[in-house]
Structure 1
Amino acid sequence: MTTDERDYDHLRMRQWLDGAARADGISRRGMLRLLTAAGVIGAVGAGGTGTAHAGPTVPGIVKPLPDEHFIVRGTNAESRWSGLRGTGFHTPNELFFVRNHTTTPELDAESWRLRVWGSGLRGDGAEFSLCDLKSLPSTTHTAFVECAGNGRSFYATQQGQTASGTAWTLGAVGVARWRGVRLAHVLRRAGLTRHAVDVQPRGLDAEATASDGTPMGHVRRPLPVAKALDDVLLVHEMNGRPLPPDHGAPVRVLVPSWVGIASVKWVGDIEVSAEPLYSPWNTDLYRLFGPGYPEGGSAPLTRQTLKSAFELPWDAPFAAGRTHHLTGRSWSGAGTIRSVEVSTDGGRRWHHARLHDVPRRDSWVRWSLPWTPRAAGAATLLARATDSTGTRQPDTTPFNEQGYLFNGVVRHPVLVTA
């Protein structure tokens, strides 16, 4: 049983080449890119930005999306950071961002069933109702969920490098108090064997289609069995309430600190396989492609990166000669936040912000800093965090074609008025 992601990826591709792995729905081109990335074969030739608009509701998303709280981007809705100030540590359900690959299904909780099946189980597997899951020992865990493309737009606006995909700023993240059962408990109830290598949850939302029209099937993404048995939850509550439809009702997967695609919503079945598994969401998508990466791309993305955001609108006004309290939040997928520094002069000088929360894994910290601007005119605010691994946010992020894992210091413009 391997836990190192790169070793795991290399092993899976070697097994595929030997005919011992399945890759349902993966194109030959996509698999060749994988094999090149792993060094299994030599390099081979490999033959939309969302538009924001306002509105109270959007087709395909159930909850209202008032303009003061959201920026709608196609089938997705980004939270406005200015709307989070004063809301407390946990993101209110009604303000939590929405990431959909198709549309939100409204499923009946009474008739919903979770099927756990596959060659990594004894017998025929098992089926669980929502009541069955609620009867198992419960776990509550506070954690962020964040889209892998959060911050994607800054590749273009700050680095002059345009990436494909939804042009998120920093609002594709939220922290909630999740309640559910450990996936490990469910897998063992279903008859997990030592032969299992991959665990693949699958969603019940509509089947997705690639940008070129290729059918991709239901959203699904395999996890190494070691990860599935570690800290992964099947959750049915969000901030003390039943999961809302847009956030995975009646049950979703929660993979703390990993990229959001791993936390599959509206889960309907989980395949437990004694063979390695691939899906489009860990092959052609959710890898790093581009200059500086292998021709076949990086290993599949796992942990999120390090970010900071001000709880301010873009171009927020500040009166000169008055003291203002700048507030924001910082988070990391690799560890806890150790410190946050803020610059109010475009990066020439830095000041330590006050942290308002005890740093915890899988979550963020709120921070503040007083600022008394002296002269009217345009100003640029910056915030950078350092986490417990010693990593500090850099000025720039190495580019990748799909715009994942941006972690550079964001330049936040404001206007000082006389």
Structure 2
Amino acid sequence: MLRDHFGRPVAGDHFVHHGTDLETVWDGEEVPYLTPTERFFVRNHTEPAVVDAASWRLLVTGDGVHREATYTLAELQSFSSQTQELALECTGNGRRLFADQQGQARPGTQWGLGAIGVARWTGVPLGTILRHAGLLESAVQVMAVGLDEPYVDDGVNHGRVRRPVPISKALDDVLIAWGMNGEPLPRDHGFPARLIVPGWVGIASIKWLGELRVTTTAETSPWNTKWYRMHGIGWSDTNSALDRMPVMSCLDGTSDPNGGATVGRKTRLRGRAWAGEASISRVEVSTDGGRRWADATLVGRNEPSCWVAWTLPWTPERAGSHDLVVRATDSTGRRQPERAPDNDDGYLFSAAVHYPIDVACRAAG
């Protein structure tokens, strides 16, 4: 029988509960391209903000714009909007696998591979609002600030969750979103408006957006220095910044109606692959622990900042335990390594993932 990534019984509400964080579990299901809102993973640093849409205002401030500007939700929605299907992924997705697969337990939410989802986001390009507010050519970054309660850690108040985005990314494809899968954003996902920063670490997509601080000099926050930055042996200021997500892949299950695999009976392995800002060029599957590899077939849409489904037919030749391994290569040439680069906080687990599968004997008759 196929054991899922999480190695424990699946919760009946389709989530693994990590305190207030919720990890999506598919339990061998055929995973839809768009993740239903009610099954989208949740990661919050504090209590979700309660915001009145009628009185909410988005402030654009800082020395990188000609003037300070204020926008109501209706004013934002009066600009030409876009609807984009994009993935959102927690920076710590796969953290549990540092322990399970590499013997290096790391602190923090012990995500399997369920801290990712693809939704249809509706909003206005961030660049549209910045230019309307009088963006200066000398601007270098935008500090997005949320309206959730200030984050207190070990008695230290670090203020509201906030993180800078370079102006080049801000003007490229970042969205100020007010809609998710055709409905207003739920409270857990940033109502009434949030950033969506395609292909980048999830922390960059600030929820309950309250301020865009545009500056002509680089500013930092605890969410790109103290946290959400690589720390540990081998990491320095020159290589520790976190922005683009790595290439990753997973096995979702088999087509066997019994939920497993049987000697001599053809089954269909299936899963997904994704790669931050890139698309996927290749998915390979090994059924013998990585000694031999076969190319899977990519199925359906394969766009940057999303995911693509893959399938591979397999007819097991022997009963017993099999070590299935999945690895992907993206459109920039990045391929999943055998081991993910270690770091103190367990960010960006990118290694090819191993899945133990028990193959049953052929039934008599």
Same fold (TM over 0.5): yes
- Give the 3 Å change call, closer, same or farther, for CA 353–54 of structure 1 in structure 2: closer
| Partner of residue 220, structure 1 | 162
SS class of match (2:135): coil
1:307 counterpart residue number: 248
Equivalent residue number for residue 3 of structure 2: none
Give the corresponding residue for 1:387. Answer: 330
Given residue 17 of structure 2, which amino acid in structure 1 is its aligned partner? V
Give the distance between the partners of 1:129 and 1:267, measured in 2 at CA: 12
Structure 1 residue corresponding to 2:231, chosen from 289, 297, 300: 289
Shift in Å at residue 288 of structure 1?
1.0
Counterparts of 1:1-400 in structure 2, within 5 Å, are 67-82=12-27, 85-123=29-67, 125-210=68-153, 212-294=154-236, 298-312=239-253, 317-400=260-343
Q: Report the Cα offset of residue 229 of structure 1.
A: 1.2
Please state whether the residue corresponding to 1:174 is helix, strand or coil. Answer: strand
Q: Which structure carries more strand by proportion?
A: 2
Contact 1:114 1:269 in 2 (8 A): yes
Q: Distance in 2 between matches of 1:215 and 1:89?
A: 39
Distance in 2 (alpha carbons) for counterparts of 1:363 and 1:225:
23
Is the partner of 1:411 in helix, strand or coil?
A: strand
TM-score normalised per structure 1 = 0.80
- How many pairs are equivalent? 352
SS at match of 1:222: strand
Deviations 1:14-41 (A, max 9, x none): xxxxxxxxxxxxxxxxxxxxxxxxxxxx
Deviations 1:151-202 (A, max 9, x none): 1111111111122211111111111111100111111122222232221111
Give unpaired runs (5+ residues) of structure 2.
1-5
Q: What displacement does 1:317 show?
A: 3.4
Q: Residues 257-302 of structure 1, C-alpha deviation per residue, up to 9 Å, x if partnerless?
A: 00000000111111112332110001011111112223x6844201
- 1:129-160 CA distance string (max 9 Å, x none): 11111110011222111111111111111111
Q: Distance in 2 between matches of 1:181 and 1:199?
A: 16
SS at match of 1:246: helix
TM-score in terms of structure 2 length: 0.91
Q: Which runs of 5+ in 1 are unaligned?
A: 1-50, 56-65
Q: Which amino acid aligns with 1:291?
A: I
Alignment partners' CA distance in 2, 1:138 and 1:159: 44
Deviation for aligned residue 1:322? 2.4
Distance 2:8 2:101 in 1: 22
Aligned-partner SS, 2:260: strand
Letter in structure 1 aligned against 2:57 = R
Q: Which amino acid aligns with 1:74?
A: G
Deviation at 1:87, TM superposition (A): 4.3
Give me the CA root mean square deviation.
2.1
Please give the secondary structure, in 1, of the residue aligned with 2:188.
helix
Q: Secondary structure at the match of 1:90?
A: coil
Structure 1 residue 54: Cα displacement: 9.0
Q: Distance in 1 between matches of 2:351 and 2:34?
A: 24
Runs (4 or more) in structure 1 with deviation over 4 Å come to 51-55
Q: Aligned partners of 1:53 and 1:338: how far apart in 2?
A: 32
Change over 3 Å in CA distance of 1:351–1:163 after alignment to 2: same
Amino acid at match of 2:25: R
Alignment partners' CA distance in 2, 1:182 and 1:54: 41
- The 2-side partners of 1:377 and 1:71 are apart by 29
